[in-house]
Amino acid sequence: MSRRQMRKDPYGELHREEEAPAEVVVCWLCGRPTGQTIVWHHPVPKSRGGRDVVPMHPICQKTLMANFTNSELQRHGMDVEGLLANPQLRKFVDWVANKDPDFTANIVKKQR
């Protein structure tokens, strides 16, 4: 290798850089770290004027949509504690707390 290549080693810097740990994204509803699949959910539905998005597990989003209508979600807005006051949702969050971040299961839709 010539001296010029030694000074300007384009690949040498890649090997010297330390890999930074990936930033942990936390689920908006249950507070657990998300896995490989992240759903970006609108807490206030887009049909009701919602623009903000939050990261969620797919199973958390499915459960939220099964237990609340769009108008109920609009009333709660970004208030997670208000949503967790629902006994069915609180029971789900307590149950899923010890599961793997990529855990998935079938969700039964609430009878209206």
Block mean pLDDT (10 aa), the chain, length 112? 57 58 86 92 91 94 93 92 94 92 80 62
pLDDT score of 106: 82
Residue 60 counted as domain residue: yes
Residue 2 counted as domain residue: no
Q: What is the phi/psi pair of residue 56, to 5°?
A: -145, 160
How many folded domains does the chain comprise?
Answer: 1
pLDDT score of 20: 58
- Residues 60, 30: contact at Cβ < 8 Å? yes
- Residues 59, 41: contact at Cβ < 8 Å? no
pLDDT score of 23: 83
pLDDT score of 104: 85
pLDDT score of 24: 85
pLDDT score of 75: 93
CA distances from 26 to 1, 32, 37, 49 (A): 48, 6, 12, 24
Which residue shows structure tokens 């797919």? 58
User: Structural domain of residue 52, as residue ranges?
Assistant: 24-111
This prediction's pTM: 0.75
Residue 11 counted as domain residue: no
